[in-house]
Amino acid sequence: MKITGIELRRIAMPLRAPFRTSFGVETARDILLLRVVTPEAEGWGECVAMSDPLYNSEYVDGAVDVLKRFFIPALPERVDALSVKRALKPFKGHKMAKAALETGVLDAQLRTAGQSFGSFLGASRDRVPCGVSVGIMDSIPQLLESVGEFVDEGYVRIKLKIEPGWDLAPVRAVRERFGDDLLLQVDANAAYTLADARQLAKLDAFDLLLIEQPLADDDLVQHAQLAKQMRTPICLDESIESVEDAAAAITLGSASIINIKPGRVGGYLEAKAIHDLCVAHGVPVWCGGMLETGLGRAANVALAALPGFILPGDTSASRRYYATDITTPFELADGHLDVPTGPGLGIDPIVDILDSVTTSSEWIKF
């Protein structure tokens, strides 16, 4: 394809409720969207970087800068998603900015070809089971009320954010209130060290699906040591930024489950490669989320329909985070979301809503 131009659009999306993790509290999302325009189609990419470099080193202003100064000028005259990946490979880091650009090009490419994201990636299902991530609360009664609402809505799996001082008690309370049949897992977002191994091992009593990213993101060795001291499976998130990282984690025994977030690994082509590697080694994967709008959610749901995604992901319904989404909202039905079947993402922004939440827009002409 030949690109006519790319729009960088910033939008402000207030969350329905504050979302607290071990590294901070979010009350709103400052989101960068890319609109890739060709003579045949328009494609959308959503950058999942946060406003501040807390989840990882990336942040929205940095993504805008690297896209304008380096990534967009590096694109070849005629592009597809694979050529974008090749053109950006020499640049270090900035995986979320790379993913947004690659996704926008891929969306335009697939819309032109009349092919859906799910078909392109190799989806084997038309709907995916959905879990929900529950942030750290001010009290256990507040947590139980929130979890109860999500269970009543039909979510098939609950994930609790934990940190030192907020781990055993909330997990015990949720397990006691909702019983052993509830699929339950926890996410530490790298809040612990190996010195906490004895405390973390106490989580084994609660029959969890997994503990996600308990230790530092740059330490596969200590995760492997922790895995020997726990029965609960260890899942890696922030540690996995490429298929090479996934291969190292599997070889070392650092993880027996991997969370695949396309933004974190640089795009859906790399996400698919990690999926294929894990399937070849018998390692289950699931699709994580970064509080995406309907645009990012559509692509994630398509990815989560691949055969290796055997655990429910954080592909929650739109209303989990946003009172009003910028697309037709994803609605939960029997604990599942339908995989879009239209060309590309299979979903478009609603222009009036998108305009109402836009804070800035810049057009880069080719």
Looking at the structure, tell me whether residues 68 and 150 fall in a common domain.
no
Of 85, 95, 98, 261, the active-site residue reads 261
Locus of tokens 């949720």:
174
- pLDDT > 80? residue 23: no
Looking at the structure, tell me whether residues 287 and 188 fall in a common domain.
yes
Residue 345 belongs to some domain of the structure: no
Looking at the structure, tell me whether residues 235 and 248 fall in a common domain.
yes
Closest CA to 356 of 5, 11, 27: 11
pLDDT (0 to 100) of residue 309: 98
**CATH classification at residue 281:** 3.20.20.120
pLDDT in tens, 154-207: 999 999 999 999 999 999 999 999 999 999 999 999 999 999 999 999 999 999
pLDDT (0 to 100) of residue 20: 82
Q: Are 261 and 268 in contact (CB under 8 A)?
A: no
Cα atoms found within 13 Å of the Cα of residue 46, Cβ hemisphere only: 26
Is 95 in the active site?
Answer: no
Token digits of residue 44:
């959308």
Residue 21 belongs to some domain of the structure: yes
Token digits of residue 168:
């055993």
- pLDDT > 90? residue 19: no
- pLDDT > 80? residue 22: no
Locus of tokens 């599997």:
250
Dihedral sign for Cα atoms in the order 119, 122, 125, 127: negative
- pLDDT > 80? residue 73: yes
Looking at the structure, tell me whether residues 75 and 199 fall in a common domain.
no
- pLDDT > 80? residue 3: yes
Weakest-pLDDT range from 11-20, 85-94, 128-137, 236-245: 11-20
**Above pLDDT 70, what percent of the chain?**
100
Dihedral sign for Cα atoms in the order 212, 216, 217, 221: negative
> How many whole angstroms separate alpha carbon 193 and alpha carbon 196?
6
Looking at the structure, tell me whether residues 107 and 242 fall in a common domain.
no
Q: Are 223 and 245 in contact (CB under 8 A)?
A: no
Residue 211 belongs to some domain of the structure: yes
pTM comes to 0.95
Q: In the predicted model, what is the mean pLDDT of the chain?
A: 96
Residue 269 belongs to some domain of the structure: yes
pLDDT (0 to 100) of residue 26: 85
**CATH classification at residue 14:** 3.30.390.10
Looking at the structure, tell me whether residues 103 and 129 fall in a common domain.
no
Residue 236 belongs to some domain of the structure: yes
Q: 361: Cβ–Cβ under 8 A, 6 or more apart, which residues?
A: 7, 8, 9, 10
Looking at the structure, tell me whether residues 92 and 127 fall in a common domain.
no
Looking at the structure, tell me whether residues 198 and 109 fall in a common domain.
no
Looking at the structure, tell me whether residues 192 and 288 fall in a common domain.
yes
pLDDT in tens, 108-149: 999 999 999 999 999 999 999 999 999 999 999 999 999 999
> How many whole angstroms separate alpha carbon 321 and alpha carbon 273?
29
Q: Say how many domains are in the chain.
A: 2
> How many whole angstroms separate alpha carbon 103 and alpha carbon 96?
10
Helices 268-280 and 243-252: angle between axes, nearest 10 degrees:
30
Looking at the structure, tell me whether residues 102 and 33 fall in a common domain.
yes
Which residue blocks in 52-139 are alpha helix, DSSP H?
60-66, 81-88, 95-113, 117-121
Residue 292 belongs to some domain of the structure: yes
Residue 343 belongs to some domain of the structure: no
Token digits of residue 170:
């909330």
Q: Rounded mean pLDDT of 204-222?
A: 97
Is 161 in the active site?
Answer: yes
Residue 321 belongs to some domain of the structure: yes
Of 161, 202, 272, 365, the active-site residue reads 161
Q: Rounded mean pLDDT of 92-107?
A: 98
Q: Which structural domain range is residue 234 located in?
A: 118-338
Looking at the structure, tell me whether residues 108 and 133 fall in a common domain.
no
> If pLDDT is split at 50, 70 and 90, which confidence band does 36 have?
very high
Q: Are 223 and 214 in contact (CB under 8 A)?
A: yes
Q: Rounded mean pLDDT of 89-110?
A: 98
**Above pLDDT 90, what percent of the chain?**
95
Rg for the chain (alpha carbons), in Å? 20
Q: Rounded mean pLDDT of 21-44?
A: 92
Looking at the structure, tell me whether residues 75 and 204 fall in a common domain.
no
- Residue 358 CA, chain-centre distance (Å), reads 22
